[in-house]
Structures are given as structure tokens and as C-alpha cells.
A = this chain, B = another copy of it.
Amino acid sequence: MVSDRITIALDAMGGDRAPAMVLRGADIALQRHPDARFMLFGNEAQIAPLLAKLPLLGKAASLYHTGEVVADDAKPSQALRAGRRSSMRLAIDAVADGRADGIVSAGNTGALMAIAKFVLKTLPGIERPAIATMFPTRRGESVMLDLGANIECDAENLVQFALMGDVFARTVLGLLQPTVGLLNVGSEDLKGNDAVRGASARLRDGTIPIRFYGFVEGDDIAAGTVDVIVTDGFTGNVTLKAIEGVAKLFSESLRASFHYSLSARIGYLFARGALKKLAARLDPRGYNGAMFLGLAGIAVKSHGSTDAFGFANAIGVAVDLKVNGFLQKISDELARLSNVPATEQSAAL
């Protein structure tokens, strides 16, 4: 993989265990992408001592002090107006003015989306950006959106998410004809609310050149029935977190099972190699890093509660998007699909 001096701007103050988690995450990411450079935005008094203990990262990172932080409970509108010197805002600004190739934050999701949308702008034809993530399925890997950027969605929003998910699956996942499904409470036409029924009708009418599978249900997510799962931000957020919670419970229960008896402990010794492969495949930290699709810049949101290993993966997502030329590809595809010139920037917010 070519990683020709990619620079990632990091909101060093975002996340439950920031800034230590962010710095250790960047240090792990640096071992995977030795040519990467980092811009760290945050409180120098807290960051500098931590950075001193990570000499490798110290050489690859520049520190930009700011005392301001977007609070976890700040309203997006508040963060947008009042947080112009926040670590999150300054990191996004670095992408907007071309000093960085992408921004990663584990902070307030709503604020990150609002600021990123305002500063980076949306791609031509995109009304509302969406948060997307990849996750492991029975068949391989799928992508789901929206995961919380848009709590209430109408049919048109869902149609745009379908379009963005399709382009993402083709350009980044490399699928030739990805299938797209709408998450619903049943597969029949009459099921669900107005938004999903309306979106389904639009996606079926032949004007949008994607391979629309139809409605999918909750159990189709893990089954990998489709490559792209489209839903509103409320359902997507709750569902994804519910899945993560169950995966965690399952892992813990399995671990406990192997302590259940002497026989089980012996069994573990024999099966350890295979079980570690399974654990690695299903480890949610391996899929940390949600992409903001529809913006004219690379922005990745890490889980607030992740650890350094998870944060390093979120950085990896931003690096991958840059390396794969995602922004150019999605602009080209959107232009082709919607016949809007790719150079015409939307000024929406």
C-alpha cells in the first residue's frame, strides 16, 4: 500500500479516555503506516507529557494547542457557533485548508457532523451526509448507513443514503454490483413507516441505477443478505450499538465457559488458536471508525468509548479512504449518476 506522506488531523481531546487514548492510538497507527504524519489539536499541558513518552509519535506529530473542547453534551448548533477554537473545529479546519488529508475524532458525534458539514461542505447532490461503517457478516463484509447523523429521515434522505452506500461499496469495497437493502420491520411492501415505503418506491422506479434488493430485516444484517444496509440514524445507531453489545456479551460468556471446569480449560488450550482467529474477526474494535459519507473531505468518527487499538483502526479508515482516492471516486460517481457537474460545490448547511 502506498501511503505517500498522508497527514491526519486528530481531535486529541475527543473520547472517554482522551487524550491518552488518542495518542496511544496514533502511535499504533504509525507503526502500521510509518509514513503517516499527525496533527494533534488539544491541550498542550495534557498532551505534551504523554507525547514525551512516545518518541516515535513525537517525531511524526505536530502539536497545536487549544484550551477549548466540544463537550459531550453540547448541542451541534452550540458547538458550531461557540466552538471555533475547539480541538475538533481546528482539526477539521486543517482538512478544509489542505494541511491535512483527513480528520479523526472520538468526540461528540452531532457536533462533529455539524462542524464537518459546515466547514468541509457536502458533495454536489447530497442534501444530508450520513455516517457509515463496515461490519463482518456471514458472507464477508457489509456497510450500513446512517448510524446517527440524521435522527429523523424522510424518503428522499434514505434514497440518497442508498446512493452513497452503493458508490462506497463499489469504490472502496471494490464490489462490481453491490446489493442495497432498506432496513424495515418486514419484507412486504406495506410494512414500515412512510419514509421506508416512499424510499422503496423511489428505488424501484428505475430512475436510480443501483441494485435495490428491497426491504431487509434486522437479522439480515449479520446474515450479509445485502452489501449495503440503509436506515435512518435513530434505528441505525441503536441497532449497531445493540449488535456490539451482544458481540461483547457473547465473547465474555465464551471466555467464562472455558473457566467452567478443568475439562473446559483443557479444551481451551487445544482450541486456542482457532478461537483467537474467531475473536479477532468479530472484535468490534477492528471495525471502529465510522465514515462521514457525502462530505467534500475525509472525516472519520471513532467510538467515544474505544481504546487505543480501536482508535488506531479509525485512523486506518481515514488513511484507507485517502489511499483509495475515495473522495474523487465518489464525486465522479455522484456526478455520473445525477448528471450534476462534479466541480459544482454544494453550499448547503
In the complex, A261 has a CB within 8 A of chain B: yes
Q: How many angstroms from the CA of A46 to the CA of B73 in the assembled complex?
A: 60
- For A258, give its contact among B137, B183, B193, B274 (CB under 8 Å): B274
In the complex, A188 has a CB within 8 A of chain B: yes
Q: Are A254 and B278 in contact (CB under 8 A)?
A: yes
Contacts of A278 in B (CB 8 A): 253-254, 257
In the complex, A347 has a CB within 8 A of chain B: no
Q: Are B218 and A242 in contact (CB under 8 A)?
A: yes
Q: Are B222 and A246 in contact (CB under 8 A)?
A: yes
Q: Are A238 and B239 in contact (CB under 8 A)?
A: yes
The segment out of A17-25, A112-120, A264-272, A294-302 that lies at the interface is A264-272
The segment out of A156-164, A229-237, A324-332 that lies at the interface is A229-237
Contacts of A45 in B (CB 8 A): none
Contacts of A244 in B (CB 8 A): 218-219
Query: How close is A238's CB to chain B, nearest CB, in angstroms?
Result: 4
- For A237, give its contact among B152, B218, B252, B282 (CB under 8 Å): B218
Q: Among A238, A248, A281, which residue has the most Cβ atoms of chain B within 10 A? A: A238
Q: Are A193 and B151 in contact (CB under 8 A)?
A: yes
Task: Name the CB-closest residue of B to A148.
Answer: B185
Task: Name the CB-closest residue of B to A247.
Answer: B246
- For A245, give its contact among B152, B184, B220, B273 (CB under 8 Å): B220
Q: Are A274 and B257 in contact (CB under 8 A)?
A: yes
- For A193, give its contact among B234, B245, B281 (CB under 8 Å): B234
Q: How many angstroms from the CA of A234 to the CA of B234 in the assembled complex?
A: 10
- For A242, give its contact among B151, B243, B249 (CB under 8 Å): B243
- For A222, give its contact among B193, B237, B249 (CB under 8 Å): B249
Q: Are A250 and B252 in contact (CB under 8 A)?
A: no
- For A257, give its contact among B239, B246, B253, B275 (CB under 8 Å): B275
Query: How close is A341's CB to chain B, nearest CB, in angstroms?
Result: 36
Contacts of A235 in B (CB 8 A): 234-235, 238-239
Contacts of A193 in B (CB 8 A): 151-152, 234
For window 176-226 of chain A, which residues contact chain B by CB distance below 8 Å? 183-185, 188-190, 192-193, 217-223
Query: How close is A197's CB to chain B, nearest CB, in angstroms?
Result: 11
In the complex, A99 has a CB within 8 A of chain B: no
- For A239, give its contact among B218, B261, B268, B277 (CB under 8 Å): B218
- Besides A218-B237, A264-B271, A267-B270, 20 other A-B contacts (C-beta < 8 A): A73-B190, A137-B249, A138-B252, A193-B234, A217-B237, A218-B238, A218-B240, A219-B245, A231-B238, A235-B239, A238-B239, A246-B246, A246-B247, A253-B281, A257-B274, A263-B271, A264-B273, A264-B274, A267-B271, A268-B271
